[in-house]
A and B are shown apart, each in its own frame.
Chain A
């Protein structure tokens, strides 16, 4: 199954986000070995150079590290993973508030909306 990409942004950024999500959601666990660039490129149906660029960027941020000969691994730094989780959650919240603002809700009423929604959900 080729990965889905939106058309308006560079593909390597979208690959980075996808791998970040898989780390945060636990599909890739700390210390897991990543498939090779070529295998990942095939799985995603993207150019190997694009995949390489995305992985180098993930390596630069420390989320992924490479062992000279044995390949690339997911970081074992749990604090870094939870930091990333918080960062991604913040982005979702920011986008959510922006969407509500477009509908005419201000921040305070957004909170009421959420509280009511959660209550309704529990009933």
Chain B
């Protein structure tokens, strides 16, 4: 089943293209890495999928629905910045999410908070940068969505917590859902991926299976990334 389809997707900012003519199909049951250097268009693509930006040309659809209320009900989006109100307590934010999203699983959220040792009675602004990121990721992964789009989910957390977060991602998505993860931390994440998309200057260079690329190149995705995007 095709979960996500982009056709001729183009986004220009003030006439400058950030994405040009992207064709992309993502099936269900995959974890896909969206990898590219700074300014390659990763966040733009993710925002178009989440419905925060409107395309200049082309279309995006999720399970056949154009981007809109219906698609947003199926897409769980983790932005690369914090949009939550810092003076709210974590448990109040959870209540807000519960109200807002039909597919939000409160028990799952509390379970993950407990495992990551986060006190739901505390206000968000009292947490460290890493802990705030964990809270946001927990909220996003607690939805039973069809497609998760995660923009830099592990950038601010220490390596030990990173392992736990990857486990959290692995254990908290439905079998027929897919996850699209953008990141620079390729080596940390490559073993949980089964597909990668290399993106450069707003165009897709490669969309292939991770083990296929490793077999072909005899190298890790991290090394291939460093070679392809060598400065």
- Taking Cβ atoms with an 8 Å cutoff, the residues of A that contact B are 2, 5, 7-12, 38, 41-42, 44-50, 53
Contacts and interface: CB of A to CB of B under 8 A. Distances in A.
21 contacts: A2-B163, A5-B191, A7-B187, A7-B220, A9-B218, A11-B210, A11-B214, A12-B211, A38-B171, A38-B175, A41-B170, A42-B167, A42-B171, A45-B163, A46-B191, A47-B170, A47-B191, A47-B192, A49-B30, A50-B191, A50-B210
A11 B29 contact: no
B193 interface: yes
Interface string B6-37: 00000000000000000000000111000000
B220 A8 contact: yes
Contacts of B187: 7
Nearest to A47: B194
B119 interface: no
B194 A9 contact: no
Given A2-B191, A42-B171, A47-B170, 9 more contacts: A9-B215, A10-B215, A12-B211, A38-B175, A42-B170, A45-B170, A47-B194, A47-B210, A48-B170
Given A5-B191, A7-B220, A45 B167 contact: yes
Interface of B: 29-31, 163, 166-167, 170-171, 175, 187, 191-194, 210-212, 214-215, 218-220, 222-223
A49 B170 contact: no
A11 to B, nearest CB: 6
A5 B220 CA distance: 10
Contacts of B219: 7-8
A38 B192 CA distance: 12
A46 B31 CA distance: 10
A7 B170 contact: no
A41 B219 CA distance: 22
Contacts of A50: 191, 194, 210-211
Which of B175, B212, B219, B220 counts the most chain A CB atoms within 10 A?
A: B220
A53 B192 contact: no
A48 B191 CA distance: 10
Contacts of A2: 163, 191
B166 A45 contact: yes
Given A2-B163, A7-B223, A46 B211 contact: no
Contacts of B214: 8-11
B56 to A, nearest CB: 34
Contacts of B175: 38, 48
Closest 9 A/B residue pairs (Cβ): A7-B220, A10-B211, A47-B194, A49-B194, A10-B215, A10-B214, A46-B191, A42-B171, A47-B192
A69 B212 CA distance: 30
A42 B210 CA distance: 18
Contacts of A7: 187, 219-220, 222-223
A117 to B, nearest CB: 33
A39 B24 CA distance: 31
